[in-house]
Structure formats: C-alpha cells, structure tokens
Structure 1
Amino acid sequence: MLYWFLKHVLAGPVLRVLFRPWARGVDNLPEAGPAIVVANHLSFMDSVFVPLALPRRVVYLAKDEYFRRPGLRGALVRRFFLATGQLPMDRSGGAGAEASLGMGRKVLEEGGVLGIYPEGTRSPDGRLHRGRTGAARLALATGAPVVPVAVVGTDRLRPAGALLPRLRRVGVIVGEPLHLGGPDPTAAHDRFALRRTTDAVMDEIMRLSGQEYVPSYAAHARARLLTAERPGG
C-alpha cells in the first residue's frame, strides 16, 4: 500500500513534474511472472526512477547497512525500506550473502520483479564496472528472465558537496529480456557459467547506457579514489 501511495499519489507526481523523466522500452518488462531487473548504478536516485518508470512493483535487494543504523533515524529508514518491499542484502559474502539471495529467490518464486545492481555499489566515476554474479545465479537457479536496464543522467542530479538535487532530466532504457536458461542448479553454482552469464548481461547494459566499461569492481575503484584523496595518498 505504501509503495502504491508513494508512486501514484505522493512522490511520483512531484518527481515527474520536477525532473520530467523519460523512459524507453518499458514494454520489454514481462507483464506477469518473475523477472530480474538488472541496472547500472549511478546514484541513490536510481532506486526511485527505475520503479517510477516500470508498470510493475520492483523489490530491491538493498545494502544491509540501511537496516542496521541506530537511533530514531535508523528505525525510520528501516521501516521505510521494509514498507516499500526492499530487502537487506549482505555484501560480505559467505552465508550472509547466500541468505540474501535466498530472499531474492523467494520474490521470484512468487512471481515478482526483483531489482539488482550487479556492480554492487554506485559507480564512483560514471563508468560501468564489472558485475558481481548474484543476478546470474538467481536467473540460472530459477529460470527467470533478466531484463537489462540503463539509467541515464542520475549521476548529475547531486554533485559532490551539494545539499539539494539539481533539476535535470533523467532517463530509463529497458532492454529486451534475456533468457539465460534454467532452472539449472548445476550452472547456478558453476563459477565459469556465472561469470560468462554476468559478462553477457553487463555487455547489454553497456550497449543500452553508452557507458565506458572497465573490468574492475566499483568497490575497488571507490577505495582507490578515497586513498588518492587522503593526504599523502
């Protein structure tokens, strides 16, 4: 109910007036049944404009730090994320990450749309970075199609140091669904199949977004930039 209210009554109409978002290929999202929306990640606002563009509800795997913040503000943020259907994603690997993917699989088995950012974090330099294999694992395990999405222009909404977003147009381009095979439990745990599949999805996102691709993880690029910005770095 909160998701519908925010999209259609409260936030959605305001965002459409302020940012005049455009979208192409929205009909490529299947009308029913499970689907994995896999997008590039330029800004926190991506998780606003992608669901705004798509006709179906998107459930995101959000980083679990959002759900563990202390105090009243943390409780409000946690309640908001849960109310809008977002699920905590453990990015530390191991059993925690497997449990997070299990929640995503449940969304797909119930016929829902799951949103994932394969880069794992926002791009620190506007380029498209190497994808992590979680989306491919879910696609191969469940047989759900992967819908590649390119978000355009959200990195220009809030430059570093700015308190308020700039009023610029942003866009969402939805590619044709990729049917990667499955359900195939063997392929879902084959690291070579997962890497091959992930790279194919990233190639499609690159084609849609026009971004330069770099074969390194966004988290590593962010760490290098932070090190370089430190005194003596």
Structure 2
Amino acid sequence: MTPLELAAWTWKMPRRGRGFWFSLTIDVLWPFVVLFVKLRVRGRHNVPGNGGVVLAFNHLSNADAVAAVVFSLMSNRVPRVLAKASLWRAPVVGWIMRSGGHIPVERGTVKASEALRPAVEALRAGQCVMAFPEGRFTDDPDDWPIRGKSGVARMALEARVPVVPVAEWGTQRLLPRGKILPRLLPRKEVEVVAGAPVDLSDLYGRELTAEVLDEATARVMAAITTMLSGIRSAEAGSHSA
C-alpha cells in the first residue's frame, strides 16, 4: 500500500471498544506505520465479521504486535491481546493493556485452564482474541515458526471458535530482536497474510488431553507455517526475477 492508501484506513478502522489509552496508542503509532512501512495485507476475508475468533500469529519481533493489531483493525475487528501479566504492572504499558480490555495470563502460577479462563470468556462473548502460539520469539536460525504452546488450542476448543492462522514477515527487519529502536529508513516491507480458519471441529467435545491439545496446536502451527512459506517464496521469486 502507498502512504496515501494507508492513511485512508485511519477513518475505516473500528474505534468503538478500543478504550481511550489503547486507541490513543494506535493513533500515535499510525503515522509511523504510514510513513515508514510498506505494508501489504492479504486474507482479511478469512476473519469472521462477528463472533468469537482467535487470530494466531507467528512471532519474529516486538514489532509483530503492532502489525497484528493493524491487521485485526483492517479486518474490522478490535483485538483483545493475550499477553503475559507482567505487562499490566509496567508503567504506561499497564494503562494501555487495561484500557484495551486485553487479557493477562499469569504464567506458571495456576493451571493452564484457569490461566486462560478470561480468554475463553472473551471468546464466548463474541470477541476477537489475538495470540502468538509460540509464546516467544522464534529461535529458528532461518526465522521459521517453532513448536507452539497449547494455549491457543485450549481456548479455541473450550470456546469452540475458529482459529485464523496469520503469518507476518518483515517485522524482524523493521525492529530486529534485541534492538530498542526500529530501523525506519529505508522503508521496510512488512507483509501480513491470513489463511482459512483451521478446522478443529473433529476435536470439539473431546477431553482436552495432551494428545488432543498437541494435535490441535500442530494443525495451527502448520497452517501458519504454510502461509509464511507462501510469503517467503514470493519474496524470493521477486528478488531473483
């Protein structure tokens, strides 16, 4: 998208339900996205317009969250971000997380099913929950997704909602891991592509054993990897042309 095309999205993205501080953060960051990112978004039609849904992204960089929120808003859904609870105790960031109605997860303090209860309730209430199944940045030397944790599978199966796999690419160039300041120039290409919802319907109603959760998680991660492979193959082809 050109800067003008991106700027036009300011008036198209939903505002109701964003919360004051979360909405202000989006408004502050949006000009930087418009000016310094060559953003390409595809597959928005795969995101249901209403009802509970999980958007599951691969994790490359701290810039992923910004790109993921932008994708969700451009898909006409206000996301509730599933994130580690320590963010709620951080200055400023805590205000943003509470304002946006995001969902804290206290890792390692309670059983997984209890830790994800707020997310399941949000999904049952028809909200859009945004998550990174890997739980951390990939440590694969070629930046492919690593094994996912079971949280996304658990909450999707409990709430019986679709999981939309979304691949991001280019965020690792915009803000490399371990860096604080983004590399804004020259403008970086960032691509976000969503695939069709992952079919987990055959697992509904089954006891959430490790085997069932592993199977659901593997399907989600395979779908994300497939979407990412398509992005990277197209990029390699354009560079070799």
Task: Return the alpha-carbon distance in structure 1 between the equivalents of residues 43 and 70 of structure 2.
Answer: 14
Q: 1:99 aligns with which of 109, 114, 117?
A: 114
Deviation at 1:32, TM superposition (A): 0.6
Q: Give me the whole-angstrom Cα distance separating, in 2, the residues matched to 1:163 and 1:140.
A: 36
1:33 aligns with 2:41: no
The runs of 5 or more residues in structure 2 that have no matched partner are 1-18, 231-241
Corresponding residue SS for 1:78: helix
* 8 Å CA contact retained: 1:143, 1:183: no
Q: In structure 1, what is the equivalent of residue 213 of structure 2?
A: 194
Contact 1:142–1:183 (Cα < 8 Å) also in 2 = no
Q: CA deviation at 1:10?
A: 3.1
SS of 1:150's equivalent?
strand
1:31-110 equivalences under 5 Å are 31-54=49-72, 55-68=76-89, 74-92=90-108, 94-95=110-111, 97-110=112-125
Q: 2:136 aligns with which of 97, 117, 121?
A: 121
Q: Deviations over 1:196-215 (max 9, x none)?
A: 1110111111100129xxxx
Q: Which moved more, 1:107-116 or 1:57-66?
A: 57-66
Change (3 A) 1:163 1:112: closer
TM-score (norm 1): 0.79
Alignment of 1:71-220 (within 5 A): 74-92=90-108, 94-95=110-111, 97-125=112-140, 126-159=143-176, 162-167=179-184, 168-181=188-201, 184-187=204-207, 189-210=208-229
Q: Which amino acid aligns with 1:98?
A: S
Partner AA of 1:180 in structure 2: L
Q: Relative to structure 1, is the Cα distance of residues 119 and 77 closer, same or farther in structure 2, using a 3 angstrom cutoff?
A: same
Cα drift, residue 122 of structure 1: 1.2
Gaps of 5+ in 1: 69-73, 212-233
Q: Deviations over 1:100-138 (max 9, x none)?
A: 310101110110001111111111342210011111111
Post-superposition offset of 1:177: 1.2
- In structure 2, relative to structure 1, the CA distance for the partners of 1:6 and 1:202 (3 Å cut) is same
1:174 and 1:155 mapped to 2: Cα distance?
Answer: 18
List 4+ stretches of structure 1 deviating above 4 A. 160-163
Question: 2: CA distance between counterparts of 1:161 and 1:204?
Answer: 27
CA offsets, 1:75-118, max 9 Å, x none? 322112211222211222643x4333101011101100011111
CA-atom RMSD in angstroms: 2.1
Residue in structure 2 matched with residue 231 of structure 1 by the alignment: none
Q: One-letter code of the match for 2:77?
A: R
**Preserved contact between residue 43 and residue 155 of structure 1 (Cα < 8 Å):** yes
User: Would you say the 8 A contact 1:141–1:182 is kept in 2?
Assistant: no
Identity value in percent: 31
Provide the C-alpha distance between the structure 1 equivalents of 2:228 and 2:156, rounded to a whole number of angstroms: 22
- In structure 2, the residue corresponding to 1:209 is in which secondary structure? helix
Structure 1 CA distance for aligned equivalents of residues 58 and 214 of structure 2: 17
